[in-house]
Structure 1
Amino acid sequence: MTAATTTTSTQGTPGGAHIEIRDLTKSFGSFTAVDNLSFEVQPGRITGFLGPNGAGKTTTLRMLLGLVHPTSGTARIDGRDYRDLDRPLSVVGSALEATNFHPGRSGRDHLRVIAAAGGLPDSRVDELLELTGIPAAARKRAGEYSMGMRQRLGLAAALLGDPRVLILDEPANGLDPEGIRWLRGFLRHLAGEGKTILVSSHLLQEVEQTVDDVVIIANGRLVRSGTMAELHGAPTTIVRTSDNDRLVGALRVADVMAAPGADGELVVETGDKRLVGDVALQAGVPVWELRDRRTDLEALFFQLTEGTNRNLGDGATSLPGATQPGATQPGATADAPTETDAISGREGANE
């Protein structure tokens, strides 16, 4: 679908809001879905919230939105719990599922119900249908929507109040490549307006192209956080040539350090490929390959989360997709429910 021209509404307060997760824990009996988790999300930035299936992402987002009560710790937006926010629709917009629509209700009517509850005019509904690229499907029943259209409808619902904070759970699921590209540009535009955006996703390559900051959790605990630049590490250049020693010496004269890599290449401690190429040319050294080297987010993710995922049982790995929808999760018992079991039917049983 073609992206609609983005317009700015005056419904909400300009700028984003600071999200602070502090020492957050949620236990369901003997099962700990979130374990002493702390991180922050800054306004004007897109933060990717990553972790294997069962890592505690959804439970964390639900606690932030007041849908699940923490066992301990806090999840606050501008220093306040969600339940204490004035006009929450103008502060926080969220889309945790793309299936919570009445199948017999049109997409436009779904948005009108939410708008009416928030005191918003129908004109805002039409604006969001245009903004998210689904005006032609507005009068179609939501039960006939494709997964990608449901994602766009969920995003439209989240944006009705022009919120300062946007919380999205797997927003790219079901989108085709054009839709994913549209979503990336749309979120970047919203962040440029100063909004605070927290996105949970398992599409690591897409996250790498979209977000500014990353929070990675496993077994309910924080394993890594930082900017994408920090996660990628110091700028490094890979060079292949027929005379490593000569190029190393020439680079040393230019005050650039280099050392042989594992496959015969040179690893140069700079991200300035033009400098490396100029030095090689002046030294008369042929260059066969010249490219950036940085830490791959996918490789880093698996490195940080590899091993047994206790939330999926002792016999399961932490790889995303290790448990298929509807499958019995290994090791799950009445005393140790999975994260999905806990948030869907066990909330409040052990508080």
Structure 2
Amino acid sequence: MTSTATAIEIEGLTKRFGDFVAVDNLSFHVEPGRVTGFLGPNGAGKTTTLRMVLGLIRPSAGRATIGGQEYGAIPQPLRTVGSALEATSFHPGRTGRDHLRVLAATAGVSDKRVDELLELVGIPAAARKRAGGYSMGMRQRLGLAAALLGDPQVLVLDEPANGLDPEGIRWLRGFLRHLAAEGRTILVSSHMLQEVEQTVDDVVIISNGRLVRAGTMASLHGPASAEVHTSDPAKLAGALRIADVTSTPASEGRLIVETDDLRLIGDVAMRVGLPIWLLQPRVSDLEGMFFALTEGQNRNLGADAAAPQDRDLIAGREGGNEA
């Protein structure tokens, strides 16, 4: 299941609604066996991109493929790709179990699989209640169960943590990590870096429909470093240089040392007889970095940020209004 045949490839993807550019020449790659966070502020173009990946909107330019094929060309799409774009895509009068049974019947999936998934996502008791009375968190779990019906190798999820309480978010993190460990390709959108920081392996950040950063989550943290406070920072800096460790002065007698090996720093300080008053890993302000990358007027607000029915109306104009 770790084959690159399940990779998602986005190449030069563009979507115009008349003169409005919702997604602008976007390219990135989603690897199997990893959780990729698709990040950006509300209205950045995330949902429009995901809808193009799933064949719900026709691109103005470029292409999105899964295992080298566009979604519409996949022979059994529900057994290859599972998706959850809206937490309200069910009949409110049906029970959660009946909702899944209807979907299962269209995909040739047994009712046994439905009951297994209800247990897996943690709503077996609520499954016999009408879905219209579900909380947002329960709707998200029901949507995730629907996405997994065909035991797909690829999962595309739009803001799956919305409406989940802290326990539910913790559960979702562990669940997605488990699915990735099985070799599945997982693409998860969010508008908050902090929300997915402990979950994803790779990140793709967009703003105003354009790519602003892509790479591993570790790369966003920058190089490992530590902060140390001592009585003679210049003396410690010299001793660290002898140990082949670079440092730079900071305020109030502190050094920023380019290593996260705290024991090494302490040993060097002890050898030259310096007291250590503070020694700690230096943590990057990822949330601040995220907002710095995506700051500025959000010209796309109104496309992805619109209500679902408004997005459908926009999508319905695409045939005659594309630039």
TM-score by length of 1: 0.86
Q: Determine if the alignment matches structure 1 residue 181 to structure 2 residue 170.
A: yes
Counterpart check, 1:123 vs 2:76: no
Q: Residue 28 of structure 1 aligns with which residue?
A: 17
| C-alpha distance after superposition, 1:296-338 (max 9, x if no partner) | 321221111111222238xxxxxx9xx7x77xxxxxxxxxxxx
What are the superposed Cα offsets for residues 165-193 of structure 1, whole Å, 9 maximum, x if unpaired?
Answer: 00111111111111111100000000000
In the alignment, structure 1 residue 309 sits paired with structure 2 residue 298: yes
Give the superposed CA RMSD. 1.9
The 2-side partners of 1:194 and 1:163 are apart by 11
Matched, 1:275 2:246: no
The letter of the residue matching 1:189 is H
- Which residues in structure 2 correspond to 1:35-114 (within 5 Å)? 35-114=24-103
Matched pairs, number: 318
Query: Is 2:39–2:192's contact at 8 Å kept on the other side of the alignment?
Result: no
Say yes or no: does 1:152 pair with 2:141.
yes
Structure 1 residue 86 displacement after superposition: 1.1
Shift of 1:265: 2.2
What's 1:167 paired with?
156
Give how far 1:262 is off: 4.5
Instruction: Determine the C-alpha separation between the residues in 1 that align with 2:141 and 2:251.
Output: 46
Distance 1:342 1:105, change over 3 A: closer
In structure 2, C-alpha distance between the alignment counterparts of 1:60 and 1:149, rounded to whole Å:
25
Match of residue 223 from structure 2: 234
For residues 124 and 292 of structure 2, the distance between their equivalents in structure 1, rounded to whole angstroms, comes to: 43
| 2:180 paired residue number | 191
Residue equivalent to 1:254? 243
**Segment drifting more, 235-244 vs 116-125:** 235-244
The answer to whether the Cα contact below 8 Å between 1:68 and 1:343 also exists between their aligned partners in 2 is no
Q: Return closer, same or farther for 1:141/1:259 CA change in 2, 3 Å cut-off.
A: same
Instruction: In structure 1, list runs of 5 or more residues that go unmatched.
Output: 1-12, 314-319, 327-338
Q: CA shift at 1:83, angstroms?
A: 0.3
Q: Which residue is 2:317 aligned to? A: 346
Q: Secondary structure at the match of 1:194?
A: coil
Distance in 1 between residues matched to 2:48 and 2:90, nearest whole Å: 21
Task: Decide whether the 8 Å contact of 1:241 with 1:265 is kept in 2.
Answer: yes
Which digits, 9 at most, give the CA deviation of each residue in 1:121-140, with x for residues without a partner? 00000000000000011100
For 2:231, give the aligned amino acid.
Answer: S
Deviation at 1:254, TM superposition (A): 1.1
